[in-house]
Amino acid sequence: MADQQKRSNQHIVTRMVQANGAIDPQTGGVVPPIQSSTTFARNADYSLISPNHLYARDDDDLVRLGEDILAKAENAEAGLLFPSGMAAIAAVMRTVPNRGTIILQTQIYWGTTKWVRDFCKRREITLLEIECSDNETLSAAIVANKPDLVFVETPSNPWLRITDITKAAELTQAAGGKLVVDSTAASPVLSNPLSFGADIVMHSATKAINGHSDVLAGFLATNDAQSAMWQAIAMDRHDAGAVLGSFEAWLLIRGMRTLPLRMERMCENAMLVAKFLEAHPKVEAVLYPGLKSHPSHDLAVKQMPNGFGPLLSFLVKGSAKDALEVCAKLETFKRATSLGGVESLVEHRHSVEGNATGVPENLIRLSVGIEHIDDLIGDLKEALS
């Protein structure tokens, strides 16, 4: 009990590095073991040999450990892991009743927008897509429509817009709805939306939480585990079988243990890259909340006190052809779709989404990794020359 109390008072960095103090009780191993069994034996009287092990769908110790680590990192009462970020989002959206109302932040991750549009059409749910980082727009939409759920992404992808979580929570909850915040671009070590009033925080754990581009996973956390919404999400995950495998949970936990250190380096690199790009004559604009020129910089400082994340976008002066030429010349930055990994990535977002979300043809999105900053800036300097 004393050890547990001591761990509960430890800094998030220490808890993550030590996987919440996990020790294999059979061997003393400091790395939690993988249990690959999907089912568990019973005694002769048919009682469970282990009360917490019936079937792997909900009885995986590594999944439980991963949930515990991330829930503590978010200062949350409870957390649930899913096999992907979209599986987590889908579980949240399915709590909205038929003919209900959802407010969705516009110009966010295209995968979220596309799935929610299709889902709402099937369920006859009213969907309002608005810019939630604009408090007046958000307030007017909530008051007029009294949504069941408001879903925001902050920082947003690829526009790096910052939504005022406290304001959004107050407005949503006053109207009887729930606020869900996608905090993937920040990660739990940079921002904790529940602390600002959100009802649920969501992460694509595939990104920075894993950090090595080798695991698909999603995560939800809440401070009200007894709410009807959270109970419905937990039941949906169990009954629909949207669970994470043991090996994936093991890899995820391994990645988490270096998250604070990785994020510190990525934030440092991203800031230097953003400042370099802001001063470059061939760059029209840089979208990064860490820059004082960002319109929501002060709000970002409040909501992300430990850094501004690895994600940034910039607009090349010129056309799609000019932006694509820059991407083609990059060598240290790899042309691939994702963010938050140790390796730096570049994406011409318009080539991926087309005209679906209004992303400019000259926008380039970067996910800045942990490489040496001289190599990253040198690569960009050469590509922009």
The domain segmentation of the chain, as residue ranges, is: 2-256, 259-384
Give the Cβ contact number of residue 281 at 10 Å.
6
Digit-coded pLDDT (tens) for 319-364: 999 999 999 999 999 999 999 999 999 999 888 877 777 899 999 9
pLDDT, mean over the chain:
94
Confidence of residue 6 (pLDDT cuts 50, 70, 90): low
Question: DSSP character for 205?
Answer: T
Digit-coded pLDDT (tens) for 85-139: 999 999 999 999 999 999 999 999 999 999 999 999 999 999 999 999 999 999 9
For position 7, what pLDDT does the model report? 57
For position 58, what pLDDT does the model report? 81
Confidence of residue 8 (pLDDT cuts 50, 70, 90): low
Confidence of residue 3 (pLDDT cuts 50, 70, 90): low
β-strands 126-130, 200-204: how paired? unpaired
Q: What is the mean pLDDT of residues 276-305?
A: 98
For position 273, what pLDDT does the model report? 98
Percentage with pLDDT > 90 across the chain: 82
In contact, 6 and 67? CB cutoff 8 Å? no
For 86, residues 6+ apart whose C-beta sits below 8 A from its C-beta are 111, 112, 115, 204, 218
Is residue 272 exposed (0-12), middle (13-18) or buried (19+ Cβ within 10 Å)? middle
Q: Helix, strand, or coil here: 351?
A: helix
Q: Which two tokens stand for residue 367?
A: 């996910």
Q: Helix, strand, or coil here: 16?
A: helix
Residue closest to 149 by CA, chosen among 89, 196, 67, 87: 89
Cis peptide bond prior to 155, omega within 30° of 0? yes
List, as one string, the DSSP characters of 165-200.
HHHHHHHHHHTT-EEEEE-TTT-TTT--GGGGT-SE
For position 34, what pLDDT does the model report? 86
For position 23, what pLDDT does the model report? 81
Confidence of residue 367 (pLDDT cuts 50, 70, 90): very high
Q: What CATH topology corresponds to 259-384?
A: Aspartate Aminotransferase, domain 1 (3.90.1150)
For position 223, what pLDDT does the model report? 97
Say if residue 203's pLDDT is above 80: yes
Confidence of residue 54 (pLDDT cuts 50, 70, 90): confident
Question: DSSP character for 155?
Answer: S
For position 27, what pLDDT does the model report? 78
Q: What is the mean pLDDT of residues 166-183?
A: 98
Distance, CA of 153 to CA of 183 (rounded, Å): 6
pTM score, whole prediction? 0.93
In contact, 369 and 338? CB cutoff 8 Å? no
* Measured torsion, CA atoms of residues 162, 166, 167, 172, in degrees rounded to the nearest 10: 110
For position 21, what pLDDT does the model report? 77
CATH class, 2-256 region: alpha beta
Distance, CA of 96 to CA of 267 (rounded, Å): 36
Digit-coded pLDDT (tens) for 231-287: 999 999 999 999 999 999 999 999 999 999 999 999 999 999 999 999 999 999 999
Q: What is the mean pLDDT of residues 61-85?
A: 96
Task: Report which residue type is found at 200.
Answer: I
Residues annotated as catalytic are 57, 109, 182, 207
Q: Which residue has the tokens 């960095």?
A: 13
Phi-psi region of 148 (alpha: psi -120 to 50; beta: other; left: phi over 0): alpha
Residue closest to 221 by CA, chosen among 201, 198, 244: 201
Which has more pLDDT, 71 or 54? Answer: 71
Confidence of residue 140 (pLDDT cuts 50, 70, 90): very high
